[in-house]
């Protein structure tokens, strides 16, 4: 045997494997931003695609700096550990203590962009992203993952393995709140309150984004489970937990798509593609809080319910609440996250988890909801009062690509053969009354068309 191997202990090898696992998982979760970008770009109009892509790029860029400088420390402070500034920590812990946390934080942040698409000012969204990464999200992790407040005061730990409520539920509720404060897009509602469908421009992008997100979700859920854990006899392979998380994640994902498609079929007589795609994601959100403790049949039930509630909740938000949630972020992330988190005591692998678990799960959901609604409402309320939250009617009608960025995502469709360049070949002279005329399905499923 190589003498070098004899000098390396089992614990060192296990630590190295776990460290590498965290890095790979973090990279997988980062790649989910490509999925969010494609999913959201596909669900907005062609005149707003570049704006949506820019928001996704800046979500990561602005948010990750804010989380590094402020957010990680705030999470530690709220959790009772004092403000631990990441830059002052041992570099050997940066991957586990910061990067891994940062990719989760940025997932929560980017969810909001889909809800406010088509009318939010870029500066408003970037401002909110900074504050979410620096304060709003870290407070949520501070009272849950970083702190032991629920077990201390309620006697039971709040069960959220990979962020079903802490990340996705919080992001979906924040998106709904922001969309409410901003108000609906122009022409979304008629004077009598009836709803007009404003279709997204590309089902292809939306489905591609869905599948990229599903791929990254294995990093989100399975990646949260370490490969090796400490036991009485030393380092132990964590295969049972890894296997359960992989299975429950997959089953819930599949049932989410089936559940949403079935309800869409019952409502309209047709299986709407976007409902199926978003239902698949809702199934993933639903299981994310509990994949390590749910039974296999529990994963099927939670996934099916998370998918089935999607068309129903979306219709309620759209028609009853009159909130224009463009990419359905609340039914996909918000209500699905709440459902899965509250389902834990009833679908746990060992049987009913007890009344205390029910109380703790409800308390955790309420605490996260109240904080998120208040913080998001205050930020967007102030921006709205200052006239900085929403673009003008003129800019909204011509499209945010031109108004906010001076570009068009599909210039050849509006410029045709008469396209001219005004600055030596880099900036075309854009028309503002053109664009892609043929735009495809929207999340509604066609029942309003």
Instruction: Quickly count: other Cβ atoms within 10 Å of residue 237's Cβ.
Output: 14
More confident position, 61 or 15: 61
Helix (H) or strand (E) holding 441: none
- Res 229: pLDDT: 85
Residue 410 lies in a domain: no
Of the pLDDT bands very low, low, confident and very high (cuts 50, 70, 90), residue 93 is: confident
pLDDT of residue 449: 34
d(CA 53, CA 110): 11
pLDDT for the residue numbered 413: 73
Does residue 3 form part of some domain? no
H/E segment holding residue 115: helix 100-115
- Helix (H/G/I), strand (E/B), else coil: 406: coil
Does the residue 424 lie in any domain? no
Cα–Cα distance for residue pair 258/440, rounded to 1 Å? 22
Within a domain: 4: no
Are 226 and 21 within 8 A, CB to CB? Answer: yes
Residue 134 half-sphere exposure toward CB, CA atoms < 13 A: 11
What are the helix (H) ranges across 269-351? 273-288, 296-315, 329, 335-347
- Contact between residue 341 and residue 159 where contact means Cβ atoms under 8 Å apart: yes
Other Cβ atoms closer than 10 A to 155: 11
pLDDT in tens, 330-349: 999 999 999 999 999 999 99
Check residue 90 and give its pLDDT: 80
Contact 256, 425 (CB under 8 A): no
How many whole angstroms separate alpha carbon 411 and alpha carbon 400?
Answer: 14
Helix (H, G, I), strand (E, B) or coil at 421: strand
What is the SS3 assignment for 357?
Answer: helix
User: Does 70 map to a domain?
Assistant: yes
User: Closest Cα to residue 312, out of 336, 288, 284?
Assistant: 336
Looking at residue 112, its pLDDT comes to: 97
Least confident of 108-117, 132-141, 423-432: 423-432
Calculate the CA 330 to chain-centre distance. 10
Question: What does the alpha-carbon distance between residue 369 and residue 171 come to, in Å, rounded to a whole number?
Answer: 10
Look at residue 96 and tell me whether its pLDDT is greater than 90. Answer: no
Angle between helices 335-347 and 170-182 (to 10 degrees): 150
DSSP string over 374-429: HHHHHHHHHHHHTT-SB--HHHHHH-HIIIIIS--SSHHHHHGGG--BSSSSSSB-
Q: What's the pLDDT at 228? A: 85
Q: Which pLDDT score is estimated for 314?
A: 97
Look at residue 416 and tell me if it is in a domain.
no
- pLDDT for residue 424 is more than 60: no
User: What does the alpha-carbon distance between residue 299 and residue 84 come to, in Å, rounded to a whole number?
Assistant: 37
Q: 10 Å Cβ neighbour count for 87?
A: 11
Picking from 278, 273, 255, the residue whose alpha carbon sits closest to that of residue 35 is 278
CB within 8 Å of 239: residues ≥ 6 apart: none
Q: Is residue 31 classed exposed, middle or buried when 0-12, 13-18 and 19+ CB atoms within 10 A define those classes?
A: middle
User: What pLDDT digit, counting tens, does each position of 178-230 carry?
Assistant: 999 999 999 999 999 999 999 999 999 999 999 999 999 999 999 999 888 87
Domain range for residue 354? Answer: 10-226+243-393
| Farthest CA pair distance, the chain | 81
Dist. CA 5–CA 19, nearest whole Å? 19
Structural domain tally of the chain?
1
Beta bridge mates, 294: 348
Position 414 confidence tier, pLDDT thresholds 50, 70, 90 = low
How remote is the C-alpha of 178 from its chain's centroid? 14
- Phi and psi for 120 in degrees, rounded to 5? -80, 140
In the predicted structure, residue 46 carries a pLDDT above the cut 70: yes
* Cβ within 8 Å of residue 330, ≥6 positions away: 115, 172, 173, 175, 176, 313, 314, 317, 323
State residue 440's pLDDT score: 37
Among residues 325, 282, 316, 391, the alpha carbon closest in space to that of 113 is found at 325
Residue 359: alpha-carbon gap to chain centroid: 26
Q: What is the CATH number of the domain that holds 202?
A: 1.10.3430.10
- The answer to whether residue 309 scores a pLDDT higher than 50 is yes
Confidence (pLDDT) at 443: 46
Rounded to 5 degrees, what angle do the CA atoms 111, 115, 120 make? 110
181: nearest Cα among 124, 131, 109: 124
């Amino acid at each position: 045997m190589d003498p070098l191997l004899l000098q390396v202990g089992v614990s060192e090898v296990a630590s190295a494997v776990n460290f590498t696992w965290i890095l790979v998982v973090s990279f997988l979760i980062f790649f989910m931003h490509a999925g969010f970008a494609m999913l959201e770009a596909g669900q907005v109009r062609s005149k707003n695609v570049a704006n949506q892509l820019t928001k996704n790029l800046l979500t990561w860029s602005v948010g990750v700096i804010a989380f590094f400088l402020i957010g990680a420390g705030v999470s530690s402070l709220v959790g009772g550990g004092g403000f631990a500034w990441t830059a002052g920590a041992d570099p050997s812990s940066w991957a586990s203590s910061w990067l891994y946390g940062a990719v989760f934080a940025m997932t929560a942040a980017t969810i909001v962009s889909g809800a406010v698409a088509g009318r939010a000012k870029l500066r408003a969204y970037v401002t909110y992203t900074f504050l979410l990464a620096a304060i709003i999200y870290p407070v949520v992790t501070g009272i849950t993952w970083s702190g032991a407040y629920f077990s201390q005061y309620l006697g039971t730990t709040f069960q959220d393995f990979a962020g079903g409520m802490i990340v996705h539920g919080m992001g979906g509720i924040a998106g709904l709140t922001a969309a409410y404060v901003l108000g609906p897009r122009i022409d979304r509602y008629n004077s009598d309150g009836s709803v007009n469908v404003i279709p997204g421009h590309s089902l292809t992008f939306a489905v591609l984004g869905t599948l990229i997100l599903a791929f990254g979700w294995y990093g989100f859920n399975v990646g949260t489970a370490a490969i090796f854990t400490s036991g009485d006899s030393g380092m132990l392979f964590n295969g049972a937990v890894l296997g359960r998380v992989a299975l429950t994640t997959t089953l819930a994902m599949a049932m989410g798509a089936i559940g949403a498609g079935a309800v869409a079929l019952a409502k309209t007589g047709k299986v709407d593609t976007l409902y199926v795609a978003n239902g698949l994601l809702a199934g993933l959100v639903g299981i994310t809080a509990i994949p390590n403790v749910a039974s296999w049949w529990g994963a099927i039930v939670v996934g099916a319910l998370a998918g089935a509630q999607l068309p129903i909740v979306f219709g309620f938000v759209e028609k009853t609440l009159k909130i224009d949630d463009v990419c359905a972020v609340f039914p996909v992330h918000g209500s699905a996250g709440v459902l899965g988190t509250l389902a834990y005591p009833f679908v746990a692998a060992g049987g009913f988890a007890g009344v205390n678990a029910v109380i703790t799960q409800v308390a955790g959901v309420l605490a996260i909801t109240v904080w998120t609604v208040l913080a998001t409402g205050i930020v967007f309320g102030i921006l709205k009062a200052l006239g900085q939250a929403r673009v003008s009617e003129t800019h909204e009608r011509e499209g945010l690509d031109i108004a906010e960025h001076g570009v068009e995502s599909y210039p050849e469709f509006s410029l045709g053969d008469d396209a001219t360049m005004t600055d030596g070949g880099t900036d075309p002279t854009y028309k503002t009354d053109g664009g892609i005329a043929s735009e495809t399905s929207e999340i509604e499923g066609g029942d309003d068309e």
